[in-house]
Structure 1
Amino acid sequence: MVDLIVEIENTGQNCIVGKIIGNDYNDARFSYTVDYLQMEGSRPISLSLPLQTEAFSVHATRNFFEGLLPEGFIRKCVAKEVHADTNDY
Structure 2
Amino acid sequence: MRRARVYNHGRLAGSLDELNDGRFRFQYDASYLQEPDASAVSLTLPLQNQPFLCDHLFAFFYGLLAEGSTRQLQCRLLQIDENDAFGLLLATGRDTIGSVSVEPASEEER
After superposition, residues 1-89 of structure 1 pair within 5 angstroms as 1-9=1-9, 14-23=10-19, 26-59=22-55, 61-87=57-83, 88-89=85-86
TM-score (norm 1): 0.79
Count the aligned residue pairs.
84
Q: Secondary structure at the match of 2:51?
A: coil
Asked if the contact 2:28–2:47 (Cα under 8 Å) also holds between the matched residues in 1, the reply is: yes
User: Contact conserved, 1:30 with 1:61, CA < 8 A, in 2?
Assistant: no
C-alpha distance in 2 between matches for 1:64 and 1:27: 15
SS at match of 1:57: strand
> Which segments of 5 or more consecutive residues in structure 1 lack a partner in the other structure?
none
Q: CA deviation at 1:53?
A: 1.0
One-letter amino acid of the structure 1 residue matched with residue 40 of structure 2: P
Residues 23-57 of structure 1, C-alpha deviations (whole Å, 9 max, x = no match): 46x31211100001111110101111100111112
Contact 2:26 2:52 in 1 (8 A): yes
Distance 1:42 1:52 in 2: 11
Q: TM-score, normalised by structure 2?
A: 0.65
Q: Greater relative contact order: 1 or 2 (C-alpha under 8 angstroms, separation 6 or more)?
A: 2
Q: Give the Å deviation of 1:61.
A: 4.9
